[in-house]
Structure 1
């Protein structure tokens, strides 16, 4: 088990690849060069908002709206408390995020197995590219070897510079972002006494799962019993795990078949639960 607490995590401002101000706290990271590499983070949109053009990625994203509304097209939003699945290769945006928007985001390798380029590697490349070009309104502007002015999506420019190869997208498995209202789902008892769960969805042939857990005071959840990495994000309540007490805005990583690892509720507690693709 690994744990990351928002209260112990420094704020980092996202680089110049996009337009506006976005502060992040990175709670947990996966393993570089693994198909299940990931980044669990919390974001706060700063003064002046945050904007992106319509674009897509070669990795998956799961977004949970803590406060505010998250736009994912010009007309559609994830409401507060909603969860969105942004599959690899699927276009979304443009985004115009308002100041004060708070979200939890899990970025992870998609079902194609291309993995996820870590934040550290992206930011290092961002700095390099700024020496020879400019990021503006989500696009990278530069002059090629023939002296011709060029533009490309900022994320694509960073990936290609980092890997030395062209960014190629897997065939999209879905046609759009999948927006989910957790309040429209029912809770069901799990095999652990005092523990209830609701699954919002299971996606792709590699069985990415998204759902919620609810524990009564004194209940024990036996974590880490899936065939892939299990990620929990605590939304309310208090628990003890590994002899330490934790509160809201804490992330937990359990490796494949690491459990059972006991997570005991000190008071009524809820988690967003995500199980990464099985490779």
Structure 2
């Protein structure tokens, strides 16, 4: 199991759209975990502080081929007109579901993006083609305020696309020779969850669990992403099984992993095919995400 603490993770400022995100804003970000797993899963998990004024993160209405989970640590974070994820709430963003336009100018939160086989493109082979893909896009069109504008080669008409989507399409074509396609949405829109409204049940002595939801964006008996909250008390032990990769985090001090005790804002990654267990000094609440698997 990999463990990181927020205070030990370097913070980087997004450079107002001039970096590879191609979106405006000056978000302060901490990369917590990322992986390209043997089963084809690619993900990144990071913590962001959103800033007001000309440093606000903005994007047009758009959608993705990958899945997202967003959780707000403090304040409230916008994801569409009149739509906010408030403190200790989360929202699940399904594949293909449109959202936005969004203006993120306040709040601190976590963002998990995940996909399989090119749905999510981060690190690894994608890092090798990113800058060249951006260069080719700039030769064909322009980036402005999170939008890429070029001429549609089939119709000859002016075309506007979300800048992130345009980059994904260019990278995917460069590596595979195929057209990148965002699937039709199975869920109509992002799903906002209020974890505080769910009740715990006792799963074992010192272990209480809330199951928040299970969402299928892929076919298969194990293809769902599972969201839970676990509350540990002294004497309780929670087990991370080998069947799925898992991400977890807590805002409480006292989480124990092996022989170490961790402070508030601790984050965990248990890869697939590995086992781990956690316990607590005092009472600790942990949010747990179980990754889908396609086999």
TM bucket, shorter chain: 0.7 to 0.9
Taking the aligned partners of 1:189 and 1:125, their CA distance within structure 2 comes to 53
Alpha carbons of structure 1 residues 203 and 226: separation in structure 2 relative to 1, 3 Å: farther
Taking the aligned partners of 2:23 and 2:45, their CA distance within structure 1 comes to 19
Query: Which ranges in structure 1 are unaligned for 5 or more consecutive residues?
Result: none
1:88 paired to 2:89: no
Q: Give the root-mean-square deviation of aligned CA atoms.
A: 2.6
Partner of 1:203: 215
1:1-279 to 2 correspondence within 5 Å? 1-14=1-14, 16=17, 17-31=22-36, 34-48=39-53, 49-99=56-106, 101-109=107-115, 114-118=118-122, 121=126, 124=131, 128=135, 132=139, 133-142=141-150, 150-164=159-173, 165-191=178-204, 193-204=205-216, 205=219, 206-223=223-240, 225=241, 227-259=243-275, 261-279=276-294
**208-217 or 120-129: bigger deviation:** 120-129
**Deviations 1:198-225, CA, capped at 9 Å, x for gaps:** 01101115121011111113422222x1
Taking the aligned partners of 2:13 and 2:62, their CA distance within structure 1 comes to 21
Query: Which ranges in structure 2 are unaligned for 5 or more consecutive residues?
Result: none
Deviation at 1:136, TM superposition (A): 1.4
Deviation at 1:234, TM superposition (A): 1.7
Alpha carbons 1:3, 1:253 under 8 Å: kept: yes
Q: Secondary structure at the match of 2:50?
A: strand
Taking the aligned partners of 1:208 and 1:23, their CA distance within structure 2 comes to 27
Alignment TM-score, normalising by the size of structure 2: 0.83
Taking the aligned partners of 1:33 and 1:152, their CA distance within structure 2 comes to 32
Deviation at 1:226, TM superposition (A): 5.3
After TM superposition, what 4+ stretches of structure 1 lie above 3 angstroms from structure 2? Answer: 32-35, 119-134, 141-151
Deviation at 1:108, TM superposition (A): 0.7
Q: Count the aligned residue pairs.
A: 273
Taking the aligned partners of 2:131 and 2:235, their CA distance within structure 1 comes to 45
Alpha carbons 2:48, 2:110 under 8 Å: kept: yes
Taking the aligned partners of 1:59 and 1:211, their CA distance within structure 2 comes to 20
Alpha carbons 1:3, 1:28 under 8 Å: kept: no
Alpha carbons 2:51, 2:104 under 8 Å: kept: no
Deviation at 1:173, TM superposition (A): 1.3
